Amino acid sequence: MLRNRSTKIVVTLGPASSDPDMISNLHQAGADLFRLNFSHGDHKDHKDRLTAIRAVEADTGASIGVLADLQGPKFRIGVIEGGATELQAGQAYRFDLEDRPGDRRRAQLAHPEVFAALEDGMDLLIDDGRLRLTVSKCGADYADCKVVIGGRLSDRKGVNLPHVLLPMGAMTAKDQVDLRFALDAGIDWVALSFVQRPDDIAEARRLIAGRAAIMAKIEKPAAVNQIDEIIELADAIMVARGDLGVELPVEQVPALQKDLIRRARRAGKPVVVATQMLESMVAAPVPTRAEVSDVATAVYDGTDAVMLSGETAAGTYPRQAVEVMSRVAAKVEGDHGYRSIMDGQHADPEATSADAITAAARQVAVTISASAIVTYTTSGSTALRAARERPPVPILVLTPRQITARRLSVAWGLSCVHSVDASSF
């Protein structure tokens, strides 16, 4: 489907957007790729949503990508007696392996790998950083802490360990079960959560065996420290600003977002900016001005795609959120400053035939004021190199492979046409 913008929109499906009619409406409103979040819902839920997406695809003739976002090794405390307790700054608090409800003195953290990685002086962040504790003493099955920032501690809250390289991969046993289901169901992309090292990508690629493309979610400092190697091994990256903003000082995230986008674009790999982009639209029909500026900034930065999460998965106004995001992206791309930024950030072509041809095509399109660039691809690599050039005209992609057309739905500026008789010339 030809949109009036080059930046793509990734839409998360959930309880608020599982109805087939709603999924169709979201696609009409601007969704280019749908995300299935395996942190929530069961396999039947995801299968039903995928079936609805494929029905929309058949009705419209569009090639719609589907992303399976695996939960990854997310650590959580156990339950708290009475549902919650209040922690005061300065008090002592213990985490341990004991399988019993927590209270105002201790809580279960049923992850021995966390205790194995902890050292005295390290910080534990609870509930997306709302509570902060510092380790004063730890062992193989416990960690005694001092509360630095107190607050309400309730059941099953998440735990982050900034700057800790955990002795485990990016895929849990649950992830492997979910991955097998997703691959058998026919998804197009797999997102790996909490990637720490390049080996995490290599292990996932071995398990996926070419059946889907891999998107590495950048949300830990360890991944940032090896970002070039991760980008090289992955097919795309996601700037997952939620956990990234917990594990790093929040003031570092904006500059890091720009840097990650530049690096991915230079490598010719799609990049998605995600998390809380229009968060207030979970409950309100219009976004805040700050949220509009956030979406616009990501587009000005040159991202391939922007993503909606809770806004469409659990919000009251899912279609309106997609429409707002689409309008903002289109308006930014119509600004002469946007084109100046894209041209100013243009990466030099590599010494390959594909880059030589796509760079020349971009220049020809500018010189003769062409209406579009047309490219043929089987694997998608030529189309991605064309997108890397960020030309000022649409890129029409012809491919005989449906899976290629679906995977390219996340890439900047590409409008894919799947036809079994498409051929090179």
- Specify the pLDDT at position 294: 98
> Nearest 5 degrees, angle CA 168-CA 101-CA 143?
45
User: Is the per-residue pLDDT at 326 higher than 90?
Assistant: yes
Domains of the chain: 8-73+171-333 (3.20.20.60), 75-160 (2.40.33.10), 346-418 (3.40.1380.20)
User: Is the per-residue pLDDT at 159 higher than 80?
Assistant: yes
- Specify the pLDDT at position 169: 83
- Specify the pLDDT at position 423: 66
Note whether 252 and 282 are within 8 A (CB). no
Note whether 190 and 213 are within 8 A (CB). yes
Ranges 177-186, 282-291, 335-344: which has the least confidence: 335-344
At 197-215, the pLDDT tens digits run 999 999 999 999 999 999 9
Active site residues: 35, 76, 217, 275
* Mean pLDDT (the chain, rounded): 95
Q: Which strands form 123-126's sheet, in the order they lie side by side?
A: 75-76, 158-160, 123-126, 131-139, 142-149, 92-96, 106-108
User: Is the per-residue pLDDT at 421 higher than 80?
Assistant: no
Tokens of 49: 């949503």
Note whether 78 and 106 are within 8 A (CB). no
At 231-256, the pLDDT tens digits run 999 999 999 999 999 999 999 999 99
pLDDT band at 424 (very low <50, low <70, confident <90, very high): low
Q: State the number of CA atoms in the 13 A half-sphere of 366 facing the CB.
A: 11
At 187-196, the pLDDT tens digits run 999 999 999 9
Per the model's pLDDT, the better-predicted residue between 170 and 181 turns out to be 181
- Amino acid found at 344: G
Note whether 270 and 264 are within 8 A (CB). yes
| 44 alpha-carbon distance from chain centroid | 23
User: Is the per-residue pLDDT at 425 higher than 60?
Assistant: no
- Specify the pLDDT at position 352: 84
Q: What percent of the chain has pLDDT over 90?
A: 88
- Amino acid found at 32: D
> DSSP of 314-378, one letter per residue?
T-S-HHHHHHHHHHHHHHHHTSHHHHHHHHHTPPPPPSSHHHHHHHHHHHHHHHHT-S-EEEE-S
Q: How many other C-beta atoms lie within 10 A of the C-beta of residue 373?
A: 21
User: Is the per-residue pLDDT at 350 higher than 90?
Assistant: no
User: Is the per-residue pLDDT at 406 higher than 70?
Assistant: yes
- pLDDT (mean) for 300-308: 99
Tokens of 233: 């091994």
Phi, psi of 414 (to 5 degrees): -95, 130
At 58-94, the pLDDT tens digits run 999 999 999 999 999 889 999 999 999 999 999 999 9
- Specify the pLDDT at position 170: 82
User: Is the per-residue pLDDT at 341 higher than 70?
Assistant: yes
